[in-house]
């Protein structure tokens, strides 16, 4: 996958040798074979990267908006030029089907850069009114911790607004999907990012992630990951009172009101839940339907699940690749078994690999029905291609079930009555509500209520997470 760069980190404008000699093996989830190794970072590597970012901060935070716009423009052009290389890398390191990588994983990542370019172009960093100025200034050095399920997408979702704000960054990508991050670091170098503005250190959360969170010279930590990881980062960051932005777990509902278009909406709901092999924190994995329509929904859902083509992600006909890594595969399989043990009625799928696949972290698209709120499969984030169908009695019960979760990241709502849909949407406790499957927007703020996190990403809200507010009286 990579050559020299796999054993180097990008620090202070150059590829540099890590402090130690330990390495991390990277596996292809389709074959379970080792496809490469990367250096495993240490606390010393983090110190070097943070020091470089701190030295660069004063100059970059005072750079002109025009200079930052030009940098974002160069990044955007190079992302488009290298889109196929990124797509092929995502296939190898996380098992994304090539068609999905080309149509979603990479284009959505590019869109984050475009959106932040537009936001920066029109944003007012200084407003004056009634003898008082309100200045919005770059917060400082930012530690960015990104996950393995949308590797490039989550990198640009954090790096682009940080750059737009005038911050300097140290990126810690998932050590399970490091090659796309290494390609991105080379892209940043080729885009002529000033030395120290962007730095990359690969390693484990326990070492590199913790060192970033604890570091007194890091002003903000932005993490996308599990709720468990988010809690650990927040605890480590507390002693230095730095800002912590967390985009964490989810168990999103998809509420079908009785006036919804079921023949259209149910198949789309299955697709949304199982997109990216179900490895999306906002995936609508709880389908809430009127009890009287349960049999109809089951039939529609099972028929759609049967259309997925599970197999080699390099094959253009494949629509679902493997789970991205061994640990997550084991968790998904365990929760499918738990669903059966707790009395969930299996509509399709089940434990084990699909027929004909003897190797790789492949999972059968699985749907349970008659799922009760107390079951693990209704409460826990599975992060795999597993959908649960839950019947409700009336609209009030549907809203109650939608909110009966410790998470609050996303939600979907289907209805033929726009005003009714808006009224119900306002009662769902989540950071986003999608009515009748609208198009994704990189301008829409993304983040969660409850244990789904703190803060928001994307658009102007994402930019403002990287800014401090200063009031200047008597201006």
Catalytic residues: 247, 281
Domain count, the chain: 2
Strand-pairing partners, residue 345, are: 369
Residue 448 falls within a domain, yes or no? no
Query: Is there a single domain that holds both residue 171 and residue 261?
Result: no
Query: Is there a single domain that holds both residue 62 and residue 191?
Result: yes
Query: Is there a single domain that holds both residue 31 and residue 142?
Result: yes
Query: Is there a single domain that holds both residue 164 and residue 262?
Result: no
Query: Is there a single domain that holds both residue 217 and residue 257?
Result: no
pLDDT of residue 195: 98
Cβ atoms within 10 A of the Cβ of 204, count?
14
Query: Is there a single domain that holds both residue 152 and residue 15?
Result: yes
Query: Is there a single domain that holds both residue 432 and residue 465?
Result: no
450 band by pLDDT with thresholds 50, 70 and 90: very high
Residue 446 falls within a domain, yes or no? no
Residue 374 falls within a domain, yes or no? yes
State the Cα angle at 456 between 454 and 459, rounded to 5°: 175
CATH number of 30's domain: 3.40.605.10
Strand-pairing partners, residue 83, are: none
Q: Please state, rounded to an integer, the average pLDDT across all residues of the chain.
A: 97
Query: Is there a single domain that holds both residue 235 and residue 264?
Result: no
Predicted confidence (pLDDT) per residue in 295-350, tens digit: 999 999 999 999 999 999 999 999 999 999 999 999 999 999 999 999 999 999 99
Query: Is there a single domain that holds both residue 312 and residue 220?
Result: no
In this prediction the pTM is: 0.97
Residue 183 falls within a domain, yes or no? yes
Q: Which long-range contacts (CB under 8 A, 24 or more apart) does 335-342 make?
A: 335/376, 335/377, 335/380, 335/382, 335/384, 335/386, 336/363, 336/366, 336/377, 336/384, 336/386, 338/375, 338/376, 338/377, 339/368, 339/371, 339/375, 339/376, 339/377, 339/386, 339/388, 342/375, 342/376, 342/377
Mean of pLDDT values over 220-230? 97
Do the beta carbons of residue 409 and residue 431 sit within 8 Å?
yes
Predicted confidence (pLDDT) per residue in 98-125, tens digit: 999 999 999 999 999 999 999 999 999 9
pLDDT of residue 20: 84
Query: Is there a single domain that holds both residue 218 and residue 294?
Result: no
Predicted confidence (pLDDT) per residue in 257-276, tens digit: 999 999 999 999 999 999 99
- Burial pattern 72-111, b for ≥16 Cβ within 10 A else e, equals bebbbebbeebbeebbbbbbbbbbbbbbbbbebbbebbbb
Query: Is there a single domain that holds both residue 458 and residue 374?
Result: no
Query: Is there a single domain that holds both residue 203 and residue 314?
Result: no
**Domain, as residue range, for 149:** 4-248+453-473
Residue 447 falls within a domain, yes or no? no
pLDDT of residue 2: 42
d(CA 322, CA 309): 11
CATH number of 342's domain: 3.40.309.10
């Amino acid at each position: 996958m990579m050559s020299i760069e796999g054993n180097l980190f990008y620090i202070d404008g150059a590829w540099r040798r890590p402090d130690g000699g330990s390495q991390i093996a990277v596996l292809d989830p389709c074959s379970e074979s080792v496809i490469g190794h990367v250096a495993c970072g240490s606390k010393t590597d983090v110190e070097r990267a943070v020091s470089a970012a701190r030295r660069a901060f004063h100059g970059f935070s005072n750079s002109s908006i025009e200079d930052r716009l030009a940098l974002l423009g160069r990044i955007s052009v190079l992302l488009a030029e290298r889109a196929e290389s990124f797509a092929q890398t995502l296939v190898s390191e996380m098992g994304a089907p090539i068609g999905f990588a080309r149509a979603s994983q990479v284009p959505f990542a590019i869109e984050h850069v475009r959106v932040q370019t537009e936001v920066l172009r029109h944003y007012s960093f200084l407003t004056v009114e009634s003898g008082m100025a309100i200045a919005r200034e770059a917060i400082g050095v930012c530690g960015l911790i990104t996950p393995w399920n949308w590797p490039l997408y989550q990198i640009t979702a954090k790096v682009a607004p940080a750059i737009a704000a005038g911050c300097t960054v140290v990126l810690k990508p998932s050590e399970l999907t490091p090659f796309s991050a290494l390609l991105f670091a080379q892209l940043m170098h080729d885009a002529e990012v000033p030395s120290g503005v962007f730095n990359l250190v690969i390693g484990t959360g326990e070492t590199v992630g913790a060192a970033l969170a604890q570091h007194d010279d890091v002003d903000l930590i932005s993490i996308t990951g599990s709720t468990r990881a988010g809690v650990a980062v927040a605890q480590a960051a507390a002693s230095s009172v730095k800002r912590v932005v967390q985009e964490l777990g989810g168990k999103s509902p998809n509420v079908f009101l009785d006036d919804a278009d079921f023949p259209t909406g149910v198949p789309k709901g299955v697709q949304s839940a199982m997109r990216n092999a179900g490895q999306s924190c906002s995936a609508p994995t709880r389908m809430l339907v009127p009890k009287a329509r349960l049999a109809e929904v089951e039939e529609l859902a099972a028929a759609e699940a049967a259309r997925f083509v599970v197999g080699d992600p390099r094959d253009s006909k494949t629509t679902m690749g493997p789970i991205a890594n061994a640990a997550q595969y084991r968790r998904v399989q365990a929760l499918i078994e738990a669903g059966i043990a707790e009395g969930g009625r299996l509509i399709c799928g089940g434990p084990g690999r699909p027929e004909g696949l003897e190797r790789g972290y492949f999972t059968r698209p699985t749907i349970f029905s008659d799922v009760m709120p107390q079951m693990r499969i209704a409460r826990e984030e599975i992060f795999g291609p597993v959908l649960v169908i839950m019947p409700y009695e009336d609209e009030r019960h549907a809203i109650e079930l939608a909110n009966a979760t410790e998470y609050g990241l996303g939600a979907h709502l289907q209805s033929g009555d726009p005003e009714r849909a808006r009224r119900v949407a306002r009662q769902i406790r989540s950071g986003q509500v999608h009515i009748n499957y609208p198009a994704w927007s990189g301008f829409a703020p993304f983040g969660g209520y409850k244990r789904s996190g703190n803060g928001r990403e994307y658009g102007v809200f994402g930019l403002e997470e990287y800014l401090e507010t200063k009031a200047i009286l008597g201006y």
